[in-house]
Amino acid sequence: MTTHTITKGFDLRLAGAPEPVFADAPEPARVVLETAEFPGIKPKVLVKEGDSVKTGQPVFLDKADRDIVWCSPVTGKVARIDFGERRFLLRMVIENAAAGGAAEAFAELPKPAGDRDALIKAIKGAGLWPLFRQRPGGKMPRSNKVPVAIYCNGMDTAPLAADPAFAMQGRKQDLQAGIDLLKKLTPGKVYLTLRAAGDHQSDLRDLKGVEVHDFEGPHPSGLVGTHISRIQPMKLAETCWALRLQDVARLGEWARTGKYPAKTVVAVAGSAAAVRKYFRVRQNAEVSALNGGKAIGGDVRIIDGTVLHGNAVAADAAISSRCTTLTVIPEGTDQRDLFGWALPAFGKLSFSRSVFSWLAPKKEYVLDARLNGGHRPIVNIGAWERVSPLDIHTSYLVRAIQANDIEEAVKLGLLEVTEEDVALCTFVDPCKNDVGTVIRAGLDLYEREG
Amino acid sequence: MQFLRNLIEKQRKLYHAKDSKLHKLWPLFDAFETFLFAPDHRAPKSGVHVRDYVDLKRVMNTVIIAMLPCLLWAIWNTGAQHFAAWHKVAADKEYVTGWLQAMFAPNAAAPTAFDTVIFGLQRMLPILIVSYGVGLGIEMLFSVIRKEEVSEGYLVSGMLIALIVPASIPLWQLAIGVAFAVVLGKEVFGGTGMNIFNPAMMVRAFLFFAFAAQMSGDMVWVAGNQSPVGVPGSLIDGYSQATALAVVKQATADASHALTAVYSHSDLFFGNIPGSAGEMSKLAILLGAFWLVFTGVGSWRVMLAGVLGLLASGYLMKGFVGLGWVTATGPIHLEVYEHLLCGGFLFGITFMATDPVSSPETNTGKWIYGALVGFVTMLVRTINPAYPEGTMLAILLMNAFAPGIDHFVVAANIKRRLAHS
């Protein structure tokens, strides 16, 4: 075991951490599968509106790799299929029969057996390939490249994020089975990264076949991008895969039971959330399932993910298929601070000491979605450097991408980051630049040109 | 407050509605509106959903707060130097009052603290007004042309400019200098964030070379009210007072004694000396430096590297004299630490070299840049036969090299990355 200490970074002290308590969310009336969650795929629909589906039954596939399928997380009826331009599948709404008390039926899934290729085919056929993420890029792996290592992330340092170690208590067998599968997928090592001196880790530290690395320090010490840079920095043209502990457990559950792992654990957090707990909930469930069956109302922003990395979703939408945290914060509509730039601003959170939040180091802050300023050209006062533990000159990387110089951007480390790795840069930037959007544009351009 | 909001919301339509005659002027309205109320922008639906409370307005305001001790001292000392000089050379003449003194008549024979402040304000207020008026006016014009929000960069430049010129500067010269620097030093590059040279330093360099008689020598550092024939500007007729560095420059040997014979160390430190308005009190500068470093707005790396670079090159020059490589001059003989007490180096390295736009962005680059600012300052002070002070030239020169320094630091980063691939 090695401990890595991260010094650069920043922990946002936000109010509304999830209570370390489990609860069962009610069965949602519907689940919604969105293709926007998997940018780049070319979906082909396998069912029609009105069809009955079983849990684990494939409902669409990726035409670029027809082995990769997405499965229904419920037993029920396909209620609606939305197409966009050129009949591109946007989303599929499936009614959940279990909400009415009906019994759940499981579709037969491929079994994890055979050599590496057969195993990959089985994982794809079981609809679990979308759990994998690839570096560089941070998307679902869609090439035949063999990963040099696989990272299982057992920590999350993002503000108010679910603690994977807590959420996966009692899942030791699933996790071990998942790791056993992963070991067959890479000739390299399988790494498990954990929070140094974290709680609820006794099971995790007993897991076999993984190399455990501890990380301590402020966010982004819990991001896989940080872990890769410290454990086994990627060489050019290499790839590795990244899963979170929750994903590994689902893989393992499938391996052990043969059934589609349709339930996940989602922590509800945020100052505007009514009940903040770890909910056992169905994948792709409607958001209301996490609020006692009622739609979340008021001037709030519901974020599928954390405040640093996630998508705002409507109150009647559903959570994404890999959701582990749902954050509800005030939206801050129509709230404008008089002389916000000049007053000491005691109750406001800032990385900089020009806001007097340093006087109250323990205070937990309620943040809303306001930018707190206007957009300006980059004036780098050194804040980006102080929140980036990676050996990357972010401002030069951003400029290279903005100049469409992808070759230079790759040299500057584009392939080592995704938008979540630079989220703190976006947060602290006084010029309100959205660094993540630029990074994603660079990665997309690289994908098209590379 | 709600009343103010309502008023602004009403006006807003006048400027932001596309079909309105005033639509073109929306950047001006926006500048005024966001001066009062933080703008109504919210995070996009994807990505980062919360933002730090700091915006560029607050960053710039933080720097202005850092300069306040220097400004207050400038107001006080401009008056104090004026009356001291008056007593030395012109006590028997009739005292001519200025525009502000016309309202608060001074006792020229025995000026009170109030009289001192009034004289300081009488000189500093017009300088600030011209600096901000001309500079912000041009910035707003360009914002309207570019159809983008007015940037806050000039709020700091405007104050800096007032602090790095002699309080006796003729206002028309200042106005020309500001217009030159803002248009050719900043806006032609694309405005805030795009300029190569520090705009305030551009103003000073322009004035220094275009109007040398009013920016250098022994006659300009103490402001007066009279405009004697042959000496434009507001000076005290016949009064000449060399700055500390000029004293040192003229010294042939034992510069330290020559310096302390005119200015004691405590005078130099507390700022009881003539000079450009803001550079005089080292104490005020240190207060500002502390605030900048504490808030994280100014780079401590540049400041520390600059001071260390100046001191190290001071010893280096002494060593060169010992080796017979350079001819000994007054400034070389000065105790090395005394170089920090004389001239505008501390002011420059604290407020101007740390400009995030015209200095390197990489941390390694900041060390190199700061040290070189110190080194070049020392070179000009000791080797150049004419200029007593080198801070301005050093910072401008290193501004030009800043992208080059960063280039090498970034190239090393790329090399590191390729090495492990």
Strand partners, A192: A152, A212
ipTM: 0.94
What lies within 8 Å, CB to CB, of B309 at 6+ separation is: B370, B371, B372, B373, B374, B375, B378
Burial class, A63, CB count within 10 angstroms (exposed 0-12 / middle 13-18 / buried 19+): exposed
Last residue of some domain: A77, A100, A123?
A: A100
The separation between CA B57 and the C-alpha centre of its own chain, rounded to angstroms, equals 19
Binding-face residues of B in 248-307 toward A, CB within 8 A: 294-297, 299
Nearest to B51 among A301, A342, A371 (CB): A371
Task: Please report which confidence band the pLDDT of residue B226 belongs to, taking 50, 70 and 90 as the band edges.
Answer: low
Give the Cα separation of A378 and A163 in Å (integer): 35
Q: Are B31 and B140 in contact (CB under 8 A)?
A: yes
Burial class, A275, CB count within 10 angstroms (exposed 0-12 / middle 13-18 / buried 19+): middle
With respect to residue A283, please indicate whether it lies within any of the assigned structural domains.
no
- B187 and B164 in one domain? yes
With respect to residue A422, please indicate whether it lies within any of the assigned structural domains.
yes
Q: How far is CA A75 from CA A31, A80, A209, in A?
A: 10, 15, 35
With respect to residue B61, please indicate whether it lies within any of the assigned structural domains.
no
Tokens found for residue A356: 């007097």
Strand partners, A82: A91
Q: Which long-range contacts (CB under 8 A, 24 or more apart) does B20-26 make?
A: B24/B144, B25/B144
- Can you give the pLDDT at residue B200? 94
The answer to whether residue B145 neighbours chain A at the CB level (below 8 Å) is: no
| Mean per-residue pLDDT, A120-126 | 96
Binding-face residues of A in 69-108 toward B, CB within 8 A: none
Q: Which of A307, A314, A323 is nearest to A424 (CA)?
A: A307
How close does chain B come to A322, measured CA to CA in Å? 16
With respect to residue B55, please indicate whether it lies within any of the assigned structural domains.
no
Last residue of some domain: A71, A100, A129?
A: A100
Count of alpha carbons within 13 Å of A441, Cβ hemisphere only?
14
Predicted confidence (pLDDT) per residue in A391-428, tens digit: 999 999 999 999 999 999 999 999 999 999 999 999 99
The answer to whether residue B6 neighbours chain A at the CB level (below 8 Å) is: no
Give the Cα separation of B95 and A316 in Å (integer): 80
Predicted confidence (pLDDT) per residue in A371-385, tens digit: 999 898 888 899 999
The answer to whether residue B56 neighbours chain A at the CB level (below 8 Å) is: yes
Cβ <8 Å between A427 and B52: yes
- How many folded domains does chain A comprise? 2
What lies within 8 Å, CB to CB, of A358 at 6+ separation is: none
- B339 and B223 in one domain? no
- B212 and B255 in one domain? no
- B407 and B377 in one domain? yes
- Can you give the pLDDT at residue B231? 46
Tokens found for residue B87: 């007593």
With respect to residue A190, please indicate whether it lies within any of the assigned structural domains.
no
- B259 and B224 in one domain? no
Q: Are A160 and A327 in contact (CB under 8 A)?
A: yes
With respect to residue A148, please indicate whether it lies within any of the assigned structural domains.
no
Give the Cα separation of A32 and B99 in Å (integer): 75
Check pLDDT > 70 for residue A324: yes
Q: Which of B200, B240, B196, B194 is nearest to B391 (CA)?
A: B200
With respect to residue B334, please indicate whether it lies within any of the assigned structural domains.
yes
Predicted confidence (pLDDT) per residue in B244-294, tens digit: 888 888 887 788 888 988 999 999 999 999 989 888 999 999 999 999 999
Residue bearing tokens 């306040």: B68
Last residue of some domain: B218, B235, B252?
A: B235
Cβ <8 Å between A373 and B356: no
How close does chain A come to B45, measured CA to CA in Å? 5
With respect to residue B198, please indicate whether it lies within any of the assigned structural domains.
yes
The answer to whether residue A60 neighbours chain B at the CB level (below 8 Å) is: no
Burial B202-237 (b: 16+ CB within 10 A, else e): bbbbbbbeebeebbbeebbbbbbbbeeeebebbbbe
- B224 and B301 in one domain? no
Cβ <8 Å between A427 and B4: no
Tally C-beta pairs within 8 A across A and B: 221
Predicted confidence (pLDDT) per residue in B333-391, tens digit: 888 999 999 989 999 999 999 999 999 999 999 999 999 999 999 999 998 888 888 99
With respect to residue B31, please indicate whether it lies within any of the assigned structural domains.
no
Nearest to A436 among B48, B52, B62 (CB): B48
Nearest to B40 among A336, A353, A393 (CB): A336
A436 chain-B contacts, CB cut-off 8 A: 47-48
With respect to residue A212, please indicate whether it lies within any of the assigned structural domains.
no
The one-character DSSP state at A139 is S
The answer to whether residue B32 neighbours chain A at the CB level (below 8 Å) is: no
Binding-face residues of A in 333-392 toward B, CB within 8 A: 333-334, 336-342, 345, 348-355, 357, 367-383, 385-386, 391-392
How close does chain B come to A229, measured CA to CA in Å? 11
Domain ranges, residue B406: 244-412
- How many folded domains does chain B comprise? 2
- B294 and B159 in one domain? no
Last residue of some domain: B206, B235, B264?
A: B235
Burial class, B266, CB count within 10 angstroms (exposed 0-12 / middle 13-18 / buried 19+): exposed
- B344 and B327 in one domain? yes
CATH number for the domain that contains residue A52: 2.40.50
Q: Are A250 and A178 in contact (CB under 8 A)?
A: yes
- Can you give the pLDDT at residue B64? 96
- B266 and B167 in one domain? no
Last residue of some domain: B192, B210, B235?
A: B235
The answer to whether residue A393 neighbours chain B at the CB level (below 8 Å) is: yes
With respect to residue B131, please indicate whether it lies within any of the assigned structural domains.
yes
With respect to residue B43, please indicate whether it lies within any of the assigned structural domains.
no
Dihedral in degrees, nearest 10, Cα atoms A414, A416, A420, A425? -60
Cβ <8 Å between A367 and B417: no
With respect to residue A311, please indicate whether it lies within any of the assigned structural domains.
no
- B177 and B290 in one domain? no
The answer to whether residue A311 neighbours chain B at the CB level (below 8 Å) is: yes
Peptide bond preceding A220 in cis form (omega within 30 of 0): yes
Q: Are B409 and B366 in contact (CB under 8 A)?
A: no
With respect to residue A386, please indicate whether it lies within any of the assigned structural domains.
yes
Tokens found for residue A416: 């080592």
With respect to residue B341, please indicate whether it lies within any of the assigned structural domains.
yes
Give the Cα separation of A364 and A12 in Å (integer): 9
- B318 and B207 in one domain? no
- B320 and B196 in one domain? no
- Can you give the pLDDT at residue B230? 43
Query: Which of B12, B49, B358, B416 is the best substitution to test chain A (most A C-beta atoms within 10 A)?
Result: B49
The answer to whether residue B356 neighbours chain A at the CB level (below 8 Å) is: yes
Domain ranges, residue A412: 371-449
**Chain B residue with minimum CA distance to A341:** B58
With respect to residue A270, please indicate whether it lies within any of the assigned structural domains.
no
* pTM (2 d.p.): 0.93
Query: Mean pLDDT across chain A, nearest whole number?
Result: 94
Cβ <8 Å between B38 and A233: no
